[in-house]
Amino acid sequence: MTHRPTSSLQAILCILFCAPFFAGCPTSDHPLGAAGERDPGGSDSSVPSETITCEQDSQTYQIGDSVALSACMTCVCQPDGTIGLCTSACAPDASVQTEPVVTCSQGGATYQIGASVALSACTTCVCQPDGTIGLCTNACPPQPAGVGATPCNTYREVPSVASETIRLDCQAPIIYEPYELRLELVDVNTDPTGGQYANIRIDYAYGPTYDGEIAKTENNGYVPNPGNYPELASADLLTYAQVMYRTHRLCTGEVGCNVWKNGKVVRSLADRYANRTCSSRYYEQCFRDGSFDVYYDERCDFGVVPFRVGEAKSTIEYKIVVGEISGCSALLTLSPKNQTVKQPSCWSSTRDQCGIWK
């Protein structure tokens, strides 16, 4: 009969034989298994357990601590060292738009998508989702035959160019685009009384490249109707005009055909040809005479014109005033004679390519 060793005997044997191989021996309360091995379900109290924490913005948080990610967002440190279970304490901001607002622009006004846009008394369109204006409809009935043969003899007033002050220096000409002028300060002189004056060359900016037909130099005696041009009485700059560049235009704006070369004429004013204004004659020849066919668009070379300080010289469209002369420099102010200019508000489209009524 075989006897199992008692628990005390097991302990003694473990001390003698197992000590070199194991960190500790079981007591009588914790017997070894039948094969003399450690209980796999037991724990080794000599190995310390690792402490788990969470890191956020260089701060350390214990498991279960609240972690503030922002003024609105709060989370919790999780047992696996991550940050989760986040909640938001702030309401959504209704003013923040995730997509840009698309609108349409027409005539200086802004329209929302789907809004009606009136292009004229007859034509109405719709603001499209891509910002364009489309789906136009015509609410006016078609004109009966022959109605379009009479021009719409009306006009509207629109703002002219604003006044502008520029400085001219000797040998440094400039192009003043609003009136298509080339301005050059030739020199500054002193009159016998000691007063200074500036000699300024005033020419049509694009005269050297103008491709008009050279006209005959003979005066036909015709003069513009002063009733159509009340500004003619004060247009003293016209007395200096030397060369006129005249473009024959249809009242719809295009250059007229079958009139001289390309509808353009270059004419010397050495014989004091009087049928000129050196400006657009649109209002006179399209509306005042009721024809609505063609008109003269005129520009002139005025040559060298003397100006004293404070002296103004003008055409029927604009005036030039020299406000200061200093060394070889002069300060000029160019301003419109009238604050409005007349332009057409409507016209007939029943013309052929040369502007002849059908």
pLDDT, tens digit, 9 for 90 and up, residues 287-342 = 776 666 778 889 999 999 999 999 999 998 889 999 999 889 999 999 887 654 45
Paired sense of beta strands 264-268 and 213-214, if any: parallel
332 and 193 share a domain? yes
- Asked whether residue 145 is assigned to any structural domain, the reply reads no
Compute φ and ψ for 326, nearest 5 degrees: -145, 115
- Asked whether residue 88 is assigned to any structural domain, the reply reads no
Integer Cα distance of 112 and 58 in angstroms:
49
131 and 196 share a domain? no
Integer Cα distance of 261 and 244 in angstroms:
15
250 and 198 share a domain? yes
| Domain C-terminal end among 105, 138, 171 | 138
228 and 301 share a domain? yes
Domain extent, residue 119, equals: 113-138
202 and 123 share a domain? no
- Asked whether residue 279 is assigned to any structural domain, the reply reads yes
Q: How confident is the model at residue 119 (pLDDT cuts 50, 70, 90)?
A: confident
310-319 in b/e form (b: 16+ CB < 10 A) is eeebbbbbbb
- Asked whether residue 71 is assigned to any structural domain, the reply reads no
Integer Cα distance of 250 and 257 in angstroms:
9
- Asked whether residue 294 is assigned to any structural domain, the reply reads yes
127 and 193 share a domain? no
Instruction: Please report, as a single letter, which amino acid is at residue 113.
Output: I
123 and 233 share a domain? no
- Asked whether residue 232 is assigned to any structural domain, the reply reads yes
Task: Count up the domains in the chain and report the number.
Answer: 2
Q: CA separation (Å) from 55 to 5, 24, 76, 86, 321?
A: 55, 38, 11, 15, 77
278 and 217 share a domain? yes
- Asked whether residue 193 is assigned to any structural domain, the reply reads yes
- Cβ–Cβ contacts within 10 Å for residue 103, how many? 13
235 and 125 share a domain? no
Integer Cα distance of 72 and 87 in angstroms:
8
172 and 131 share a domain? no
- Cβ–Cβ contacts within 10 Å for residue 11, how many? 17
- Asked whether residue 354 is assigned to any structural domain, the reply reads no
Helix, strand or coil, per DSSP, at residue 178: helix
195 and 125 share a domain? no
Q: What is the pLDDT of residues 258-291, one digit of tens each?
A: 555 568 889 999 988 888 899 888 877 777 766 6
201 and 310 share a domain? yes
Q: What is the pLDDT of residues 21-60, one digit of tens each?
A: 444 444 444 443 444 444 444 444 444 556 888 888 888 8
Instruction: Please report, as a single letter, which amino acid is at residue 318.
Output: Y
Integer Cα distance of 357 and 157 in angstroms:
26
